[in-house]
Structure 1
Amino acid sequence: MSILPPTTHSLTDLLTAVTVQAQHGPADVRVSGLTLDSRQAAPELAFFALRGAQTDGHQFIAKAVEQGTAVVVCQELPAELNPATTYVQVPDSAEAMAHMAAAFYDHPSKKLKLVGVTGTNGKTTCATLLHKLFRELGYHVGLLSTVQNQIDEEVIPATHTTPDAIRLNALLAQMVQAGCTHTFMEVSSHAVVQHRVTGLQFAGGIFTNLTHDHLDYHGTFDEYLKAKKGFFDGLRKTAFALTNADDKRGMVMLQNTAARRETYSLRNLATFRARLVENAVHGLHLEIDGRDVQFRLIGVFNAYNLLAVYGAAVLLSEDATEVLTILSGLTSAPGRFEPTVSAKTRVTGIVDYAHTPDALENVLSTIAQIRQPSQQVITVVGCGGNRDAAKRPIMADLAVKGSNRVVLTSDNPRFEDPNDILAQMQAGVPPQEQGKVLTIPDRREAIKTACALAQPGDIVLVAGKGHETYQEIKGVRTSFDDKQVLQEMFDLLGK
């Protein structure tokens, strides 16, 4: 499904919510499209010159003008102005683009109930569970997630956790056009800082947790916290702000929000409370608000995810009993604690997206809670290149502490040397634990080795990439699916 705006818009209408510092050129301009890519610039289009971490869009203004773009939105005017082009100078091009994109697509977020999920871990699981839940409740529902974007069951491939503001508003407009009443989306810290969600009207926001991640981008943990909190600061008083009361930064999220403040917890007093009765290989048994419920999901971290989803659904006026009944039968998102069991030796392979210290610790803790004393845990783990390097030794240390054997390997090295990444991970392995660690840069060989080491009934955890079906090396993505490779190695080794 694609969407084309039925009419063009006047530039004046698109600038209603934008702070304009200066405007040069024709005032009576019609705009039939928006772009931040100068290669796509054309007559009747508005081009946005964004300042990014890698490139500055201001360098491409001349190219956009050469291609006939009607409007240039920028933070700094070029030395030479084309008299046929309208230049709009603003304090922040990304913020202006978000407001103009929302106006261009007729504010689609106001026409459905949009709920954002933010936090370090659990965003994809919560958004996916909400999408599945509300589909089962009989609604037409949109999903915007790391794994994929969906309009009901139609899948639209995802390229970022949160798309740019133009693409995001276009997707929301598609969802409105398709009859969606609800949309659930992940909101990354990058999306908040880069104004991708600016101008959207949310019915609610969910906070999962906050741990060490993305410091390569934000610089400090405080800036990372500030980015997450910024999402809640922007919620309207008609929205709800649902936070994890057991996370030590959970209540910080609510400090300056105008939204209704709601909480969920396994350990403290909260609006929505659960008690963990059992966490076993067959699933979770929780008591939620006085109701006993069995779930198919495994792990304490999923108890929090389920509780957050339940709370959000109730805050969206759904019946609590019906919500729990449906949730009890749902499975998680792809690549989130996803099991594969070998037919012959009953070795259990688990693929998980755990790419942060907290996520890896949660997965290993969950395995420790459900495994039998005789089962050995063999963990395959790496760290992505051109990302937060500070977590690399921590990840290795956690893997060693939670496993009987560890195979350190490549994740997505991107433009870094995999051996440099692995050396930084190895620095986190205590000297007395070196004997149980192998380092194999080739990820396929690493998974093969882990499977070969596994004895009948053991557990092989392959962490870091989860749902991803590629490996990125020096700018090139090649096909690589952890779950598929794991199954191939089971078959090859007769496991």
Structure 2
Amino acid sequence: MEEISKSLYTLLKEIPEANVVGDTDRSIQGIVLDSRKAGPDSLFVAVRGTQADGHDFIEKALDLGASAILCEELPAVTRPGVTYVQVLDSARAMGFLASAFYGHPSQDFHLIGVTGTNGKTSVATLLFRMFRTLGYRCGLISTVQNQIEDEVIPSTHTTPDAVTLNGLLAQMRQQNCTHVFMEVSSHAVTQQRVTGLTFSGGIFTNITHDHLDFHKTFDNYIKAKKGFFDQLPRTAFALVNIDDRRGSVMVQNTAAKVETYSLQTMAAFKGKLLSETLFGMHMDLNGHEVWFRLIGRFNAYNLLAVYGAAILLGEAPEEVLSALSELQSPPGRFEQVHSANKVVGIVDYAHTPDALQNVLETINELRHGEEQIITVVGCGGNRDAEKRPKMAAIASKMSDRVYLTSDNPRHEEPQAILDQMLAGVPPLHFKKVALIPERREAIYRACAEAQPGDIVLVAGKGHETYQEVKGVKHDFDDRKVLLEAFLATGK
């Protein structure tokens, strides 16, 4: 991407409430959040984060050549020749400045944001794939990966920081994208990462307990999700799952045009699940009967959201349904691995109680007789601990055999996480539960136990290709390990 230079005076028009100390008649070559990336004529943004305060690194950024500082608190001593821009909220101001620095890229195509606890990746990815099938040039910003047409760009966050995000959107504009689909996490809304963007539409999937390590209370989590719809413009649509009891709450204060989708009640986009197997499902969408390759009631909701968004973007129903019928789930979402002797392995990203319950309900509905459901599941370290006993309780109730194991333990001790999970298992289910801290061993044990026709669910990591332990990421892909285990155990 070509180098960009913008007048600080012009950029500051985006934040007229700023208190400016110094000369604004200067060029800005880049906006940086990390002081180590500061260089000549860069603007360093001092943000107060959860782990560190950017104000502590102002001097380092200046030593590396930064010529302007965006901050909430001016240093006790200011340097001559440096411009200081003081605001009430650095993160919020950065969103507007980053958008302006890259020439407001989100205004040049249809930008659709997807938010909710579960389904964000599936809905955004399905929209991306479908609109490409319909002949459009598209961009994707998701947990799994960022993508511009065929070019894959590694993803480190569900929603990148405002500077990285606007830079990515500028690349998508440069590649003549007409539609961009992105996940919008609750962290992104709270931390102002999507501030300054112009959305053509927003989609709400559902909300259940998650990320309470960050938001502290469920009410705060709901407010974060709602905050995305609060900032949608009148020109946008807000498409919500009305079967979720908080769907209507999300759009209480939005200026956008509200539309709904549902499997249970009247809605603009109404669906009915007619039948399903391990290979797909038959649905009725607004009077059209279609066979889809996706599986499960949760995917029925995802398909409704995608269908509704496409219609609201002006596409013809028949063309949308034809394209949707050919699509498969994104990586690590109910992804199947079959053994030679007909054991079915399923890898799913389910890492919340609701998501795990949805997947296990689907599997239970699909089994025909005496097949056993063997579940391998863990919970991530240094994350919401409240869900640990809940997930173990769900797994033990809805499976015939359960192996509680490590997910990404991060800086916690795996055994301590497992003990917290085990606390949620009812006594009558103790006999079917085993604790195996080593995830590879747990998967191998599950596969060794499985008989022809049985279903082995490996939940929690999905598409991830690593396991994080004590700050180090080790190669680990549930799908590959599952295949290895089938071969090693003669399955």
Equivalent-residue separation in structure 2 for 1:371 and 1:55 (angstroms): 50
Aligned pair partner of 1:450 in 426, 446, 452? 446
Alpha-carbon offset, residue 141 of structure 1: 0.2
Partner AA of 1:23 in structure 2:
V
Aligned pair partner of 2:324 in 327, 339, 356? 327
Question: What is the correspondence of 1:253-264 to structure 2 with a 5 Å cutoff?
Answer: 253-264=250-261
Is 1:121 aligned to residue 118 of structure 2? yes
Alpha-carbon offset, residue 279 of structure 1: 2.1
Equivalent-residue separation in structure 2 for 1:253 and 1:408 (angstroms): 35
Alpha-carbon offset, residue 251 of structure 1: 0.8
Equivalent-residue separation in structure 2 for 1:228 and 1:4 (angstroms): 35
Alpha-carbon offset, residue 56 of structure 1: 0.5
What's the counterpart of residue 163 of structure 2? 166
What are the superposed Cα offsets for residues 373-422 of structure 1, whole Å, 9 maximum, x if unpaired? 21000000000000000000000000001100000000000001111100
What's the counterpart of residue 411 of structure 2? 415
TM, length-normalised to structure 2: 0.99
Equivalent-residue separation in structure 1 for 2:279 and 2:145 (angstroms): 27
Question: What is the correspondence of 1:15-414 to structure 2 with a 5 Å cutoff?
Answer: 15-343=12-340, 345-414=341-410
* SS across alignment from 1:131: helix
Instruction: Structure 2: give runs of 5+ residues left out of the alignment.
Output: none
Equivalent-residue separation in structure 2 for 1:398 and 1:236 (angstroms): 40
Whether the aligned pair in 2 keeps the contact of 1:117 and 1:127 (CA below 8 Å) is: yes
* SS across alignment from 1:414: coil
What are the superposed Cα offsets for residues 226-248 of structure 1, whole Å, 9 maximum, x if unpaired? 00000000000000000001001
Aligned pair partner of 1:433 in 425, 429, 432? 429
* SS across alignment from 1:53: coil
What are the superposed Cα offsets for residues 295-324 of structure 1, whole Å, 9 maximum, x if unpaired? 000000000000000000000000011000
Alpha-carbon offset, residue 21 of structure 1: 3.9
- Counting matched residue pairs gives 491
Alpha-carbon offset, residue 27 of structure 1: 2.3
Is 1:489 aligned to residue 485 of structure 2? yes
Whether the aligned pair in 2 keeps the contact of 1:279 and 1:300 (CA below 8 Å) is: no
Equivalent-residue separation in structure 1 for 2:251 and 2:276 (angstroms): 30
Whether the aligned pair in 2 keeps the contact of 1:20 and 1:89 (CA below 8 Å) is: no
Alpha-carbon offset, residue 28 of structure 1: 1.1
TM, length-normalised to structure 1: 0.98
Whether the aligned pair in 2 keeps the contact of 1:19 and 1:90 (CA below 8 Å) is: no
Alpha-carbon offset, residue 4 of structure 1: 2.7
Partner AA of 1:222 in structure 2:
D
* SS across alignment from 1:378: strand
Partner AA of 2:64 in structure 1:
Q
What are the superposed Cα offsets for residues 99-152 of structure 1, whole Å, 9 maximum, x if unpaired? 000000000000000000000000000000000000000000000000000001
What are the superposed Cα offsets for residues 127-184 of structure 1, whole Å, 9 maximum, x if unpaired? 0000000000000000000000000111000000000000100000000000100000
Equivalent-residue separation in structure 2 for 1:125 and 1:397 (angstroms): 26
What are the superposed Cα offsets for residues 251-275 of structure 1, whole Å, 9 maximum, x if unpaired? 1111100000100001111010011
* SS across alignment from 2:283: strand
Partner AA of 1:278 in structure 2:
S
Equivalent-residue separation in structure 2 for 1:254 and 1:279 (angstroms): 32
Whether the aligned pair in 2 keeps the contact of 1:114 and 1:182 (CA below 8 Å) is: yes
Partner AA of 2:208 in structure 1:
T
Partner AA of 1:409 in structure 2:
T
Whether the aligned pair in 2 keeps the contact of 1:142 and 1:175 (CA below 8 Å) is: yes
Between the aligned residues of both structures, percent identity stands at: 63
Is 1:4 aligned to residue 11 of structure 2? no
Equivalent-residue separation in structure 2 for 1:391 and 1:207 (angstroms): 22
Equivalent-residue separation in structure 2 for 1:459 and 1:19 (angstroms): 60
| Stretches (4+) displaced over 3 A | none
What are the superposed Cα offsets for residues 47-79 of structure 1, whole Å, 9 maximum, x if unpaired? 001111011111100101111201110001111
Equivalent-residue separation in structure 2 for 1:218 and 1:4 (angstroms): 38
Alpha-carbon offset, residue 19 of structure 1: 4.6
What's the counterpart of residue 465 of structure 1? 461
